[in-house]
Amino acid sequence: MEWYHFIIHGRVQGVFYRKAVSQSMMKKHFKGYIRNLDDGTVEVVAEIYDEDFGTFMEILREGSPLSHVETIDYEIIEDAEFHADGFEIRY
């Protein structure tokens, strides 16, 4: 299990991307958060087990019907000090 930091680029703000992703993440019992950034991208921080990484990425790529994901940048967060009980939208 690792904590990851993602930045999602594309048409991902104002198209219900955060809501759709957060609902899918909650159904799959992922832990973390999603939020819009000022530059038009979306940030996701999440705890992911290796065997669930592919599913997690599929959810990020799918988004909402109106969204269009161009690229997803990510990195493992070393020495993460995050705690999450579920998956939430942050503002």
Give catalytic residue positions: 18, 36
Half-sphere exposure of 80 toward its Cβ, with a 13 Å CA cutoff? 16
Q: What distance in Å separates the CA atoms of residue 43 and residue 86, rounded to the nearest whole number?
A: 16
Place of tokens 């992922």: 30
Largest Cα separation within the chain, whole Å, is 36
Q: How far is CA 53 from the centre of its chain?
A: 11
